[in-house]
Structure 1
Amino acid sequence: MDQPSFGNLTGDPSVIKESSAAEFAEDVIATSRDTPVIVDFWAEWCGPCKQLGPIIEKIVLEKGGSVKLVKIDIEKSPEIAQQMQVQSIPAVFAFVNGQPVDGFVGAQPESQIRSFIDRAIQRTGGTAEPSPLEQALGHAAELFAGGDTQNSSALYDQILQQQPDNTAAVAGLAKCLLAEGQVDAVKKLLADVPEDKQGDADISSVRASLELAGAGAEAANQSETLKIEVTENPGNHQARFDLALALFAQGDKESAISHLLYIIKRDRSWNEDSARKQLLKMFDALGNDDPATLDGRQQLSLILFS
């Protein structure tokens, strides 16, 4: 199967510019009449600015020229910050048709920054189409969901060649390797993730999957015996717990979740809350948007708050 080519995934660096008071009218006011402009007020001494800036830059680069970024160092151009009534930084504004139309102050999660930039694009009548990077990640995920781990991992590799720090691609490749039983390769891949990205949701999901795979592998060979034991002795929570691990390892996530919910409903504190803890680990492994996670969380809430 031939892989589609997604070309340059890193974006055109010319859409990002350091500007000043003398250039502000041209770089921001004039330019925003054709293309929305994000203005980032920052300073070298500002820690949150250094965290926020790279995220904004990454998203803008992904948008393929449909939005531009202008960075203003308030130490070098204090008059612009004063005109915009910037009282604390980082301060970010979206300009459309020569006017500021949206903004925020302080560090924000990447998801909110994406929504902020998409709104600016939509204000000009444009649409927040998936970037080449988003298309590549989406296609790789579809390949994986269809069981094509070989082509999925090849596409994740292509992405990582251009964006080595892309945690979504790292996590996707790790899931492919895990599905192929390459546990040591997954461990090495996770170990190489920078410390500041170890808490990323995608990386946490893979780590949970790795832990569950190890636990489930031990129980998988006994799954038929465990099914008989649970049928004959419904109150044997340990057998049901082990069966849940085995089923999850075999890909039957719905049944695995159902068995853990059964235990929680009948004995919430069994084995030091092991069933609930394991259930949450499964949710982490599946991701927050997985239908099994959404349904499982709803059922768990009904049990805990009934």
Structure 2
Amino acid sequence: MSQQPFSRPGAIDLSALKRPAPSAPPAGAGAPAGAPGGAPGSGSSYAVSVTEQNFQETIEASVTAPVVLVLYSPGRSPESATYAEDVAAAVAAYEGRFLAALVDVDVTPQIAQALQVQQIPLLMVLLDGRPATQPIPGVLQADELSTLLNQLAQQLTAQGISGRHQPRQAGSAADGEEDEEYVDPRYAPAQDALAEGDVDRAVAEYEKLVAANPADAEAAAGLAMAKVLQRVQGVDLYAARAAAAAAPDDLDAQTLVADLDLYGGHVEDAFTRLVDLVRRTSGKERDAAREHLLGLFAAVGNDDARVLKGRQALASALY
């Protein structure tokens, strides 16, 4: 599945939404969103059931951190309701980096009309009140969903976007109050530094966290990504690529282009470049290429499907 980087194509048009008094859903349409047993993801602290009444507030919550909007229809596509549950569960694992917003279009067809939705299920990622990726129709498999969220989380870090959604009560919808930004206080100094563009300070702050607790996986991932940002600062992309093409076995040239690939979202290209370098080199250079690749694995996240594939390729290159 091809992933799209964050973009800002334009704010969502809400003009198609009417705001009549709430009425009972049609027979067979299922329980209203938020009703007991009626909404997928009702056990997640980072999921909301979207209605016409809270749709605007849900979109505004994307100013804090991305909102993963899923439109589903239990009546027309029972598997789409299961998919909505799967998305909510996947989002919950990121502890506030994303908020799952679940729209039952059987109950609230006006939202689907406002978004000009042609196919169910449909997933959209919103940031700053606007679509941040192209809409993704159909059901994503678990590994595809993990890849999408991992890549978006990586891009958030690279762009210095550090906000987090606060946990919601199980099955709750946005209550009309603006979602307050939440940043884990342990990571706040490093994330503030990234937001200010001070990558060197971010590296130093993450290093403190890792030194204090080597088992802190999020701090280790933050440090690895911050080091990538540190290494690519001020680099001329075209000159770097030309140097790597001219010297395919030069460790510094190849690792720099791998960093640039990762920073630009070409994760698999970065991994492949370094796996090939490991395969061609020996001794200290091979060890250095391997260590650099392990650092890129940490930056992306060890649970990412691309990292698992990259580790298999690395093992093959080594043995």
TM-score normalised to structure 2 length: 0.42
* Structure with more helix by fraction: 1
Indicate the structure (1 or 2) with the bigger Cα radius of gyration: 1
Structure showing greater relative contact order (alpha-carbon pairs closer than 8 Å, 6 or more residues apart):
2
